[in-house]
């Protein structure tokens, strides 16, 4: 028996117990109504147990009355149907509830919200949007839930301006005369999403070389989330395109200080920024300082390449071997083998192939929220749909 079915049966049992307890304190002339409702419960339950979802829905719609006491049962069945993929059944249950004006207004808005969730599951986003807009405008109790669903709809449709407008409504109003309270976890998540929305707007502007507009979007991105790595990397690219390498380096150093796990993502832009100075010795010194600071294999390997150019092969190999001894990773071991020219026998070739295979098969990035892993950096996790939670893996198999 599935967990969803067990959950529904538990809810059904609790409601039935409450119904029976109420029956003992009611006048006896209502006993026939109680018996009819109990019969509807058992009939719907039998259909569910026999996996006849459609029959269960019709039983509830046709035989179980709609009132404040039976509403939890209707909603529980609708949610169960939606979670099992029976979206059409969930829609019919919730539409049946909306056709009964006897329910209190706040409960009708709750049904509106559930029906909107059904439409979202069915991919009917336009219908869901209309329902959610009504809830936002008319209900104070369910307004925030409706805003959250609206934000997700606009995010999935990549309508970033509308997503930004809705996300702002979810944040408390700020007043410069009042001390700001510490943001809650939900508010921080909204701010993080807002920051990435501005990054999404900035990227096509950068591709179109509209640097001024892109800079404004990225400034807003950094304002909403000062730890958004993506915003700083894009801002550094903007600074480089404006021939401001020092500004780009300052932005990249901010990333390294606040989010050292992303050092490997910083390196390509760091290299590009330093090329504007043309000082290889200064570049090597900077690489070695950061390598010590964050213990990044990517920076160590880059420093080895520059050191070989300036100081020779032996010194570079010694530096690389020392780093690999202190913190062995697949990347550093592969680099050591690549630079070891003395032995190119079959055993070394085999080790090199095995290391390459391990690097190829192992994930490079992992979501800190749900554990999703892969070899590509997604700013929005494909699994849990959280912004900015995927980071490079640190350790033997990562940077």
Cβ(105)–Cβ(119) below 8 Å: no
If you average pLDDT over residues 77-91, what whole number do you get? 87
Distance, in Å, from the CA atom of 294 to the CA atom of 260, rounded to the nearest integer, reads 6
Q: How far is CA 307 from CA 90, 218, 249, 282, 284, in A?
A: 66, 35, 21, 11, 7
Confidence of residue 76 (pLDDT cuts 50, 70, 90): confident
- Which pLDDT value is given to residue 30? 42
Q: Could you report the per-residue pLDDT of 366-380, keeping only the tens digit for each?
A: 999 999 998 899 999
- Which of these, 303, 342, 309, lies nearest to 322 by C-alpha position? 303
Question: Which residues, listed in sequence order, are joined to residue 391 by a DSSP beta bridge?
Answer: 366
Order of strands, sheet of 373-374, starting from the edge strand that comes earlier in the sequence: 373-374, 365-367, 390-392
Question: Which residues, listed in sequence order, are joined to residue 365 by a DSSP beta bridge?
Answer: 374, 392
Q: Could you report the per-residue pLDDT of 8-34, keeping only the tens digit for each?
A: 565 656 555 555 555 554 544 444 444
Exposed e or buried b per residue across 192-206, where buried means at least 16 C-beta atoms within 10 angstroms of its C-beta: bbbbbbbbbbbeebb
Confidence of residue 6 (pLDDT cuts 50, 70, 90): low
Secondary structure letter of residue 227 according to DSSP: T
Extract long-range pairs of 164-170: CB within 8 Å, 24+ residues apart: 164/194, 164/197, 164/198, 167/193, 167/194, 167/197, 168/194, 169/136, 170/144
Q: Could you report the per-residue pLDDT of 37-65, keeping only the tens digit for each?
A: 445 554 444 444 445 455 656 666 666 78
> Token match 């709750």: residue?
110
- Select the more confidently predicted residue: 151 or 49: 151
Confidence of residue 206 (pLDDT cuts 50, 70, 90): very high
Instruction: Please state whether the predicted TM-score (pTM) of the whole model is above 0.85.
Output: no
- Select the more confidently predicted residue: 245 or 33: 245
- Which pLDDT value is given to residue 65? 80
Q: Could you report the per-residue pLDDT of 306-358, keeping only the tens digit for each?
A: 998 888 888 888 888 888 888 877 777 777 777 665 555 555 565 666 666 66
Helices (H), 50-142: 53-63, 71-83, 87-98, 105-122, 125-138
Q: Could you report the per-residue pLDDT of 93-131, keeping only the tens digit for each?
A: 899 898 877 889 999 999 999 999 999 999 999 999 999
Helix (H) / strand (E) element for 367: namely strand 365-367
**Phi, psi torsion values for 387, nearest 5 degrees:** -85, 140
Q: How far is CA 128 from CA 100, 106, 114, in A?
A: 20, 18, 10
- Which pLDDT value is given to residue 49? 41
* Beta strands 365-367; 373-374: pairing state: antiparallel
Q: Given a cut of 80, is residue 145 above it in pLDDT?
A: yes
Q: How far is CA 392 from CA 244, 313, 368, in A?
A: 28, 30, 10
């Amino acid at each position: 028996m599935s967990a969803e079915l067990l959950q529904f049966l538990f809810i059904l049992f609790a409601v039935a117990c409450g119904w029976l307890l109420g029956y003992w304190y009611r006048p006896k002339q209502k006993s026939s109504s109680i018996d009819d409702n109990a019969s509807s419960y058992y009939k719907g339950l039998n259909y569910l147990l026999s996996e006849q979802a459609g029959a269960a829905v019709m039983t509830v719609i046709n035989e179980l009355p709609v009132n404040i006491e039976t509403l939890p049962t209707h909603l529980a069945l609708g949610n169960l149907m939606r979670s099992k993929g029976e979206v059409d059944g969930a829609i019919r249950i919730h539409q049946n509830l909306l056709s009964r004006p006897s329910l209190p207004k706040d409960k009708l808005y709750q049904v509106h919200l559930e029906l909107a969730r059904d439409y979202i599951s069915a991919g009917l986003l336009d219908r869901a949007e209309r329902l959610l807009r009504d809830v936002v405008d008319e209900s104070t109790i369910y307004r925030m839930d409706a805003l959250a669903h609206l934000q997700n709809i606009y995010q999935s449709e990549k309508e970033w301006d509308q997503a930004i407008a809705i996300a702002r409504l979810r944040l408390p109003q700020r007043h410069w005369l009042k001390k700001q309270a510490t943001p809650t976890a939900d508010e921080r998540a909204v701010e993080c999403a807002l920051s990435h929305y501005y990054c999404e707007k900035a990227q096509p502007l950068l591709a179109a070389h509209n640097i001024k507009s892109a800079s404004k979007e990225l400034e807003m991105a950094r304002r909403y989330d000062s730890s958004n790595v993506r915003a700083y990397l894009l801002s550094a690219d903007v600074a480089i395109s404006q021939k401001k390498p020092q500004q780009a380096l300052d932005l990249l150093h901010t990333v390294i200080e606040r989010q050292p796990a992303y050092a490997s993502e910083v390196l390509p832009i760091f290299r590009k920024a330093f090329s504007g100075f043309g000082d290889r010795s200064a570049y090597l010194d900077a690489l070695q300082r950061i390598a010590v600071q964050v213990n990044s294999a990517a920076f160590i390997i880059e420093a080895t390449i520059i050191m070989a150019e300036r100081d020779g092969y032996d010194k570079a190999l010694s530096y690389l071997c020392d780093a690999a001894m202190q913190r062995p990773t697949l990347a550093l071991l592969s680099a050591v083998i690549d630079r070891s020219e003395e032995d190119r026998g079959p055993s070394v070739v085999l080790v090199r192939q095995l290391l390459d295979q391990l690097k190829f098969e192992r994930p490079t990035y992992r979501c800190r929220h749900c554990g999703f892993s892969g070899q590509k950096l997604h700013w929005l996790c494909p699994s849990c749909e959280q912004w900015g939670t995927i980071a490079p893996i640190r350790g033997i198999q990562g940077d």
